[in-house]
Amino acid sequence: MSKFYPESKVEIQGFEAEKYDTLLDVLSLGWYKRFIRSAIDRLRIREGERILDFGCGTGRNACLMRPHLGDNGYYLGVDISPIMQGQFEKNCAFFNNVYFQIQRIDQSFQLDEPFDRVFISFVLHGFPQEVRQTIIRNAYDNLKPGGLFSILDFAEFSLQDMPFYYRIPFKTVECPYAFDFIEKDWTSILAQAGFKKKEEHFWFKNYIRLLIVEKV
Ligand SMILES: C[S@@+](CC[C@H](N)C(=O)[O-])C[C@H]1O[C@@H](n2cnc3c(N)ncnc32)[C@H](O)[C@@H]1O
């Protein structure tokens, strides 16, 4: 399948999609496993919430959120990849309130019922800025008033100030879209889209951030 955005590296296909979780665990030497658990704990999900996950991938995040949500919560992961769908459905087969839907987040959409939270992890950086604006609007349109939009992704930093031993792998592995993502003032961009900053948490020398904003 050809990519919608040829330079994007979040449109994961083939072997990389089939082995996505294993590759992350191996390449991060096991660090990713501990990190993602701690990031999801920081969301402080409450029992019974409705969560919409943009670009949900293999279901790893869903499996970590489900214990917080309990039996009365509801999780919907949306993604474009049938390979991710296959893994998601296998990984989440035991849960009766965790669902997957094929849905492009880069095009406007509004589901029937609004959500308490929209979550997006390591997806937003991988698009041109005008597409990111559409994704942010989709988050807004699918949230209840006061609902939370949580973005787990690269933080704001300058590539020039990054030590070369991080800069070289970052420039080699990441798509060009990520290079302008890190230089944007996301609090202001999100404020213009109708969100108020609530909290932020950092990992990995402050290069990764969980930014939580509230729909006002
Ligand atoms: C880097 S992976 C992150 C997966 C997951 N959020 C995680 O943190 O493990 C990016 C995901 O975004 C999905 N994706 C890419 N473009 C998309 C689009 N336009 N609409 C919906 N999902 C998309 C990919 O299929 C992939 O599962």
Q: What is the pLDDT of residues 33-79, one digit of tens each?
A: 999 999 999 999 999 999 999 999 999 999 999 999 999 999 999 99
Q: What is the pLDDT of residue 1?
A: 75
pTM over 0.95: yes
What are residue 81's phi and psi, to 5 degrees? Answer: -100, 120
Give 57 Cα–ligand 1 centroid separation in angstroms.
5
Pocket-forming residues, ligand 1, beta carbon under 6 Å = 10-12, 55-57, 60-61, 79-81, 84, 104-106, 121-123
Q: In angstroms, what is the span from residue 133 Cα to ligand 1's centroid?
A: 16
Quick check: is 182 in a domain? yes
* Owning domain of residue 148: 14-215
Averaged pLDDT for residues 139-150: 98
* Cβ-proximal residues to 78 (8 Å cutoff; 6+ apart), any chain: 52, 53, 54, 55, 56, 100, 101, 102, 103, 105
Task: Using only the alpha carbons of the chain, give its radius of gyration.
Answer: 16
Q: Is residue 7 part of a domain?
A: no
Residue 168: give its domain's CATH number. 3.40.50.150
pLDDT of residue 189: 98
